[in-house]
Chain A
């Protein structure tokens, strides 16, 4: 009976520690930039100092550290007020609103692809799903903008400095443009396919992203997933395919 209670105690401690790690890392993710790292390091240092002061019964040091730790809550709320406000705003947003947003992203994409295909302007659009594509991207320019057909079209215009390469859509936002993707090494891929298609196939062989390619030679659009290319017959079917492949949670 005693060992059972002891085991329950150990289990409770492990759950307690795991939840503490989860909460701290979730809160830390809300904060962006190098400042977050510094603040985490300072807080860790203060808590370690509190422990040492307690351990060696250094009453004055403990009092000072405890005062700083207690007031740091207010300090952090002031420093990160924008991030906190944004996080609460995201939480407060209703599901319907998010579904509408998802629909907006797909609509904007389809509209942009239709325009580019009509003008025979080549395009490579990567939509990230569950697996991050960050590790497989080279070069690229950070953008972090709302997905609009105008923005996508202007990026791929031939005189745009970032028209070569792919645009990346992560969590419903256009985060990067002009990114180079890994080319497929698969010898079975048709030699008639150009670099854009090879890059799209190469990336989708490595991650679960969905890639939309517009060929500048034929003006046709295709969707590539898992290294497999599917030609798009018309734009409504592209919208349907994208809605089927991209779940709302990946656009949040």
Chain B
């Protein structure tokens, strides 16, 4: 009787593990399918030239539509992703930076599809020496 019970348990175990393995394989396939996600990212102005300062407001956030494997998109809202605008070589006056030049610290497999607004406008002024 023990042998038969063991045989049944073996069969149940094989069935359960087969289903589990198949579901895991299936998940690993469907989660690789491309998907899109809308993110609202903070704007970070960096490498500000010495002697210059931000005069007035600058866009604090941008809306970004990203595309990539779904498995990589799930955690994106919980990651500290930001939009970096490089100000090296900037001159005083009104700046209009295209968001195509902005950098996003995203996984290389995730592509930026669309950014709104398309350009960031802000004014740089010379710092008062006193």
Interface residues of B in 17-62 (CB under 8 A from A): 17-31
Q: Is the interface of B mostly helix, strand, loop or mixed?
A: helix
Q: What's the Cα separation between A135 and B1 when bound, in Å?
A: 9
Q: What's the Cα separation between A50 and B28 when bound, in Å?
A: 8
In the assembled complex, how far is the CB of residue A46 from the closest CB belonging to chain B, in whole angstroms?
Answer: 9
Residue of A24, A36, A134 near B22 (CB, 8 A) is A24
Q: What's the Cα separation between A34 and B9 when bound, in Å?
A: 11
Q: Enumerate chain B residues within 8 angstroms of A21, measured Cβ to Cβ.
A: 18-19, 22-23
Q: What's the Cα separation between A16 and B28 when bound, in Å?
A: 13
B111 within 8 A of A: no
With A56-B75, A139-B1, A142-B3 as known contacts, state yes or no: A40 contacts B18, CB within 8 Å. yes
Asked if residues B19 and A51 are in contact (CB atoms below 8 Å), the reply is no
B113 within 8 A of A: no
Looking at A24, A56, A142, which has the most chain B CB atoms within 10 Å of its CB? A24
Q: Footprint of B on A, CB under 8 Å? A: 13, 16-17, 20-21, 23-25, 28-29, 33-34, 36-37, 40-41, 43-44, 47-48, 50-51, 54-57, 134-135, 137-140, 142
B117 within 8 A of A: no
Q: List 22 A-B contacts (CB under 8 A).
A: A17-B22, A20-B26, A21-B18, A21-B19, A23-B22, A24-B18, A24-B25, A25-B14, A25-B18, A25-B22, A28-B14, A34-B10, A40-B17, A40-B18, A44-B20, A47-B21, A47-B28, A54-B28, A56-B75, A135-B4, A135-B8, A138-B1
With A24-B22, A57-B107, A140-B3 as known contacts, state yes or no: A51 contacts B14, CB within 8 Å. no
Residue of A29, A40, A54, A139 near B21 (CB, 8 A) is A40
Residue of A20, A33, A137 near B4 (CB, 8 A) is A137
Q: What's the Cα separation between A21 and B19 when bound, in Å?
A: 5
Q: What's the Cα separation between A21 and B74 when bound, in Å?
A: 26
B114 within 8 A of A: no
Q: Enumerate chain A residues within 8 angstroms of B71, measured Cβ to Cβ.
A: 51, 54-55
B93 within 8 A of A: no
B127 within 8 A of A: no
Asked if residues B72 and A57 are in contact (CB atoms below 8 Å), the reply is yes
Residue of B8, B13, B31, B107 near A51 (CB, 8 A) is B31
In the assembled complex, how far is the CB of residue A134 from the closest CB belonging to chain B, in whole angstroms?
Answer: 5
* Closest residue on chain B to residue A20 by CB atoms: B22
* Closest residue on chain B to residue A38 by CB atoms: B17
In the assembled complex, how far is the CB of residue B18 from the closest CB belonging to chain A, in whole angstroms?
Answer: 4
Q: Enumerate chain B residues within 8 angstroms of A24, measured Cβ to Cβ.
A: 18-19, 21-22, 25
Q: What's the Cα separation between A23 and B27 when bound, in Å?
A: 16
Asked if residues B4 and A134 are in contact (CB atoms below 8 Å), the reply is yes
Looking at A36, A37, A44, A55, which has the most chain B CB atoms within 10 Å of its CB? A44
6 A-B pairs closest in CB distance: A40-B17, A25-B18, A47-B24, A24-B22, A21-B22, A20-B22
